[in-house]
Amino acid sequence: MTDDPAQLLTLMQRDPEAARQLLEANVGQLAAGNPMMAMMMQLMAAQRGQRDDAVAIRRARVDRVRTQLRDLREALGNAHELLAELAAALGACGDCWGELDDCASCHGRGGPGWRSPDPELFDELVAPAVRRRARIQPKEGNTE
């Protein structure tokens, strides 16, 4: 135990947890001979335990949100990648699909067929749907 407040202050700045433990030990010695002080120490310890529990709950919540955010960013990145491939397969503007008049790439003219479709991506992503549609069209009585 140090009786020197300057030493205690130095310890608090250098190692707050060690200073807290030292203070707690000193107050505990004082409380040994004073039932009122002992009761106050118990109340303070209980309050600190509640705060520690609340902090642990908040940290767990923050960790869950961070994990969800990371998963969402990954899913968004995958969706953007797929959308860019589909735009290339259809010859559409990958920035706006022709939806934005102020698009620097297409000035709003970049809908499907705006430019030549990427042949490999067209074969992979679009041709199977075109073939399927051609097979089912007659059954639906489509006159297009």
Binding site for Zn ion (CB under 5 A): 93, 95-96, 103, 105-106, 110
Question: What is the Cα–Cα distance from 139 to 75, expressed in whole angstroms?
Answer: 37
Of 37 and 103, the one with the shorter C-beta distance to Zn ion is: 103
Amino acid at 88: A
Of 11 and 108, the one with the shorter C-beta distance to Zn ion is: 108
Question: What minimum distance in Å lies between the beta carbon of 93 and Zn ion?
Answer: 3
Question: What minimum distance in Å lies between the beta carbon of 98 and Zn ion?
Answer: 6
Kindly state the DSSP code that residue 111 receives in the 8-state scheme: S
Of 107 and 133, the one with the shorter C-beta distance to Zn ion is: 107
Which is it for the CA torsion 12, 15, 17, 18, positive or negative? negative
Rg over alpha carbons for the chain, rounded to the nearest Å, is 34
- The encoded tokens of residue 48 equal 């600190």
Question: What minimum distance in Å lies between the beta carbon of 109 and Zn ion?
Answer: 8
